[in-house]
Amino acid sequence: MFSKILIANRGEIACRVIRTAQKMGISTVAVYSDADAHALHVSMADEAVHIGPAPVTDSYLRADHIIAAALETGAEAIHPGYGFLSENPGFVDAVVKAGLVFIGPSADSIRAMGLKDAAKRLMEKAGVPVVPGYHGEAQELVVLASKAREIGYPVLIKARAGGGGKGMRKVENPEDFAEALGSARREAKSAFGDDRVLVEKYIAKPRHIEVQVFGDNHGNVVHLYERDCSLQRRHQKVIEEAPAPGITAEMRDAMTNAAVKAAQAIKYSGAGTIEFIVDATEGLLPDRFWFMEMNTRLQVEHPVTEMITGLDLVEWQLCVAAGEKLPLTQAQIPLTGHSMEVRLYAEDPAKSFLPATGTLYHLAFPSAVKDGTVRVETGVRSGDAVSPFYDPMIAKLVVYAADRPAALSAMANALGETEVAGTVTNTAFLAALVRHAGFAAGDVDTGLIDRDLAGLVAPVAIEAGARELAILFASGLLKRPVLGDPWTALRGYSHLGPLAYPVTLEEGGATTRYGVSVLGDERYGISSSGGTQELRVRHGPATWHVTGKGINLHAKAITIPHGVAVLAKGATATFTVADPFLLAEAAGGAGDRLAAPMPGLVKSVRFAAGDQVKKGQVLLVLEAMKMEHSITAPHDGRIAEIASEGTQVKEKASLVRFEESAIDPAKI
């Protein structure tokens, strides 16, 4: 076994690998960019090596820097995690050439499965069913459009390299094909350095079911059962679970046998996943599944497999890479209970899941983590920042229970106890999915989220009393009682009459001024133009208890820059305390500019200064966090200035300015 390994990754997967290595007595080396100098994975590792600036092209994709770090620190092997260089055969070759061990499959296996078109041709020869489509080499628009007509619309354009939904577009009509192809190619080129695509038939009611496989260097291959990853948005997984809802023994046997056959066809060694698309229009039938692709690495969702088998897949990876045989035979691998995983992201579901950044001023996870029914995989702590340079995942919440209904209940509780302040998250969206009647019944497919999106992203009503608690907190009068301090209860009290402490909140672009007074005996008054409200506030072991007319709130309150976050029942309500020096500046805005919603690269520009545009037209495409975001015109008007293609912009930087005379205020 190895004595020291280097983890060529960051975030939660780096932390995950480090934990298993520590359990096995293996020393670890972390690598980090400028943005990750104080990251959790750096502090967990025994050693850490700086490998470059924040952009991934200058750090986590620098194979030479990573290999040099391994050699300098005396590491014997490199674990790639997932993403970055994990499925790059050139990196594997370089690792082996340097005399190191790559903890994963061979470069030949990665090459065989790395390009979707070639992989599907290989699977056809191996007798594994593949979805109807065009997997050829020709990439001319006229050829691809012709093949799409032959296949029959709707079709799916897919980048032949990579995964994660990047470079993937569904096309309903022939007239939309050229635009979708161009967009898919740009995104694929940016994410994978390869803009070639394949075209496949779009399945009407698809389910995404994958099989975890494992091979060793002695010719042994086993499966560790299936995972259902059908709940997706933008072709990216949102909730994963195992076993797959509604699967029969016959269906499982057919899929797992096909998965093992696929792995054997390329003499696979290490952890891998065979992904299948399933036509669920008539349920799960053993002749209605097709090979999509193979991920030649550890999957993000591997914890659900670990929970139902009781196995440590990273430990298996290390053992196989060290030359050992698989620890168990197929008959010895157990399958018990039900596990489910959700991906907690810094993103705004109400704004088309726009990735978010920010500082995690408060981060707390469910108490059930202590008894093993809830597992949290994270690479961040309270006080860390969600960087614009990397994937905005905050954590993965994983639950385990005896059956699926119990797992759903456990996940609902886990989400209700998860607390994040400092950035917008998809927590409420995930909770709505867990409560979704169709999902609870196991009637899932990859289109579920899109069909019911409006209800799933509907704003969550602010808990009664949350605003009042924020106002009290912002006033500075509400403090935890200090044990043994008799003056705590008199803070802000005036013998001559209650003093009104001013607080101005900004909500929805409007500001409201409040006055807060101390009435004594844990009572406070909040006055505004609508009158005065009296409240009583007590501090319990973990939360504030606010009572008043129509209010009975138990919540936490966290002071954040320029505001207060109130956390209750898994939801976070953020209230901005207005800065009077900025109010005048904000009031002077004429609505004649479009600002960048996040840091990013201007990937393409559709118009020029002087052009007349109509409301809803795409003006430019901003690439951020490896995804393309269309910036559209909010109203009719004439462009005065527009950002140049290839420009790197900061958050809130001006992208487009309209001629003021062309703006109709009624359309803003």
513 is an active site residue: no
Which residues, including other chains, have CB under 8 Å from residue 67's CB and lie 6 or more apart?
78, 94, 95, 98, 100
Long-range contacts of 480-485 (CB under 8 A, 24+ apart): 480/539, 481/539
Q: How far apart, in whole angstroms, are the C-alpha atoms of residue 181 and residue 86?
A: 27
Q: How far apart, in whole angstroms, are the C-alpha atoms of residue 474 and residue 163?
A: 45
Q: How far apart, in whole angstroms, are the C-alpha atoms of residue 172 and residue 192?
A: 25
Burial class (CB in 10 A: 0-12, 13-18, 19+), 50: middle
Long-range contacts of 376-380 (CB under 8 A, 24+ apart): 377/12, 377/13, 377/15, 377/16, 377/303, 378/12, 378/15, 378/40, 379/10, 379/11, 379/12, 379/13, 379/14, 379/15, 379/39, 379/40, 379/41, 380/11, 380/39, 380/40
Q: How far apart, in whole angstroms, are the C-alpha atoms of residue 546 and residue 523?
A: 10
Q: Is 48 helix (H, G, I), strand (E, B) or coil?
A: strand
DSSP state at residue 459: P
Q: How far apart, in whole angstroms, are the C-alpha atoms of residue 162 and residue 165?
A: 9
Tokens encoding 590:
């004429």
Q: Is 335 helix (H, G, I), strand (E, B) or coil?
A: coil
Catalytic residue among 111, 227, 297, 343: 297
Q: How far apart, in whole angstroms, are the C-alpha atoms of residue 233 and residue 242?
A: 19
Q: Is 317 helix (H, G, I), strand (E, B) or coil?
A: helix
User: Which are the catalytic amino acids?
Assistant: 297
